[in-house]
Structure 1
Amino acid sequence: MKKKLILLFLLLSGLCASAQESTSAYNVLRLPVSAHVAALGGESNSVPDDDAALAQHNPALLADVTPRQFGLTVASLPDGALWAGAQYVHGFGLRHTASFFAQRISYGTMFETDEYGADLGQFTPSNVIVGAGYGYALSPRWAGGANLKTVYSRLGTMSAAALVADVGLNYYNKEEGWSWSAVLRNAGAEIKHFDRRTETVPYSLQMGFSKQLAHTPLRFNVTLIDLTRWSKAYYMPTADAELSAGHLFTNHLVVGVDWMPSQQVTLSAGYNFRRGYELTAAGRGHGAGFSFGAGVRFSRLRLDLAWARYHLASSSLMGSVSYRL
């Protein structure tokens, strides 16, 4: 079983490496789903935490999530956009775990005009994601998993849809505090087009690891993203712009740290290098790339809150609540 999952992971990685996108109508898939992940820089696929939403960043993490857990997440985005999601995790025996999830983002009311500027009314663009995941404990330390998602996008009278999948592996050594992951996110294709125009999906091949330092309340997280995209042209707006090797590498790097002063409280901070570069280049250097958050756990209830900046206009707040039934 372990060999089959690894072979499937490598096959999908190779298929996706042959096609790249610079923009996509489905960039909603890039947004963090967990407030804890949002606080760690927006990308983390290895943090060993009992959080139902983490499985949407790496389905292999389902193996460490307590079954019968229900979660809700809400985020405020720039220009009045609102993101909301829900997920439920259910266990089947000792090795099998499944999740069911849905998300919706509404971009607020917009005005529609024709090519002459005449007012044609108002509309509300939106994206909807519905999916299911499966995690399997391959051994006491190894786990694998997969998610299957349908993404629906509406823009006025036009609509589009895509079918995407995530495949992930995770190794977790609880005694040593090590967690290592490899995941292919959002591999798929469009199945319904906007006005005969084909859109790509923002797939990402990622690796990450987390390490809790012995005898300390600190846990460090390092995530490498978009490992099939090393062309300088992908990250720079003009072909003649210079980009150093170090700058190119850190475009793939997201780092974060958790401080856990007790078993009930977690304080988190992260830095997303690419987001910092892009916002600084666009004229917003203050706080660019940084994110912060906090989490509180009770016997059955968990609350998380995160702050981050994704846009020049304003910052974003994301809150998550999960309850074990």
Structure 2
Amino acid sequence: MGGDINSIVDGDISLSLFVPSLLNEEMDNQIAFNFVDYVSDINFISFHFAKKFNNNLMFFSGIDAINYGQFDETDEIGNIISKFSASQQIATIGVSKYLGNNFTFGSNIRLMNSKLESYHSIALSSNISATYHNKDSRFTSTLLVKNFGKPIKNYTSNQEDLPFEIQMGLSKSLKHLPFRYSFVFHHLNVYDLSNSYNPITIFDPATNELIVREETVAKKLLRHVVLGTELNPFRKNLFLRAGFNFQRREDLKLDSSFNMSGFSWGLGFSIIKLQVNYSRSAFHSSSMLNSFSIVANLSNFVP
């Protein structure tokens, strides 16, 4: 929910794609399929698998692919001369190990391939994380370092860097209410996340000019926060979820009308031996993102 989840310890292998320390023994022999209906005809699919080894060691593997669809290639005056496509793929291998005293450490290696028309890039990166999970107090906290690596092959002769990021997160389940909340603090290595393409302006009647105003300190700090909530009615196999991403809303909202940019909501439920999840995220007033996932444990299908 909200685009970032890094401190939810559930039996869902998909959560450990970016946060390897969330891998736990409940995910042994678990597989997951994810499909995202993105903006326009952009689609994202992924397959994940986890296996437990001795000495509290968990193994993760996954394939992710995004297809951006077909585009028209034109000449300098706009005549269509051909079509081209764009796609990206990521192969991930990760491990986690329970260290004792409620701490788990995890890391992964990700091989990323990107082809945009005739431009091709390959990169190798790693995510490293540590998670503290206390079942008795129902509290979880995670420190995550994302995209630690470098390109092997660049799109052009220009050297590019990966979007390095440091995150922290925490979640807490209430004792007497089937409710859980979580906070993600992202891009801790970058203070100012304000968008130069959507500045705050005011009209000066004396000069008839628009004056650009800098964001307040409070708003700059809030841009680092993602809020997530989950309600488990009657403590059964139904989960209602909602989230809010402050930065996404500030960057994509329309001042002329109200819209749900930055908000997300969804649900999860178990049916037969499958765990099914659905979420809907509002980016812009003209686009919604729909995510589907199916999680199963192969051990449940083996007699």
Relative to the length of structure 1, the TM-score reads 0.83
2:247 to 260, 274, 278: 274
Aligned ranges 1:1-325 → 2 under 5 Å: 40-231=1-192, 235-237=195-197, 241-261=213-233, 262-280=235-253, 285-298=258-271, 300-325=273-298
Which AA in structure 2 matches 1:320?
S
Offset of 1:196 from its aligned partner? 1.6
Read off the aligned partner of 2:96 and give its amino acid letter: G
**1:25-78 CA distance string (max 9 Å, x none):** xxxxxxxxxxxxxxx211110011110111113110002542000100000111
Look up the equivalent residue of 1:45 and give its one-letter code. Answer: N
Are 1:52 and 1:65, in contact at CA under 8 Å, matched by a contact in 2?
no
Rounded Cα–Cα distance in structure 1 between residues aligned with 2:118 and 2:224: 37
Instruction: Tell which deviates more after alignment, 64-73 or 237-246.
Output: 237-246
Give the letter aligned to residue 229 of structure 2: V
**1:103/1:129 contact within 8 Å kept:** yes
Residues in 2 aligned to 1:147 and 1:246: alpha-carbon distance in whole angstroms: 34
Taking the aligned partners of 2:18 and 2:172, their CA distance within structure 1 comes to: 18
Deviation of the 1:94 alpha carbon: 4.6
Q: Secondary structure at the match of 1:124?
A: strand
| Other structure's SS at 2:14 match | helix
Structure 1 unmatched ranges of 5 or more: 1-39
* 1:121-167 per-position Cα deviation (integer Å, ceiling 9, x unaligned): 11110111111110000115100000110111111122111111100
Q: Distance in 2 between matches of 1:284 and 1:160?
A: 40
Alpha-carbon shift at residue 108 of structure 1 (Å): 1.0
Query: 2:278 corresponds to which letter in structure 1?
Result: L
DSSP-derived class of the 1:310 partner: strand
Structure 2 CA distance, aligned partners of 1:120 and 1:284?
Answer: 39
Does the CA contact (< 8 Å) of 1:114 and 1:120 recur in 2? yes
The structure whose residues are more often helix, as a share, is: 1
Is the contact between residue 253 and residue 285 of structure 2 (CA under 8 Å) also seen in structure 1?
A: no
Partner SS for 1:53? helix
More strand as a share of residues:
2
Note the alpha carbon deviations across 1:179-236, whole angstroms, 9 max, x for none.
010001112211111122333322220000000011110001011000011136x543
Q: In 1, Cα distance between the equivalents of 2:112 and 2:82?
A: 26
Higher relative contact order (CA 8 A, sep 6+): 1
How far apart are 1:263 and its partner, in Å? 3.7
Please say which structure displays the higher CA radius of gyration.
2
- What's the CA shift for 1:101? 0.5
Aligned positions, number? 285
Cα distance change of structure 1 residues 150 and 241 upon mapping to structure 2, 3 Å threshold: farther
Q: Aligned in 2, Cα 1:285/1:85: closer, same or farther, shift over 3 Å? A: farther
| Root-mean-square deviation over aligned CA pairs | 1.9
CA contact (8 A) 2:249 2:283 kept: no
For the 8 Å contact 2:185–2:224, the answer to whether it is kept is yes
SS in 1 for 2:286: coil
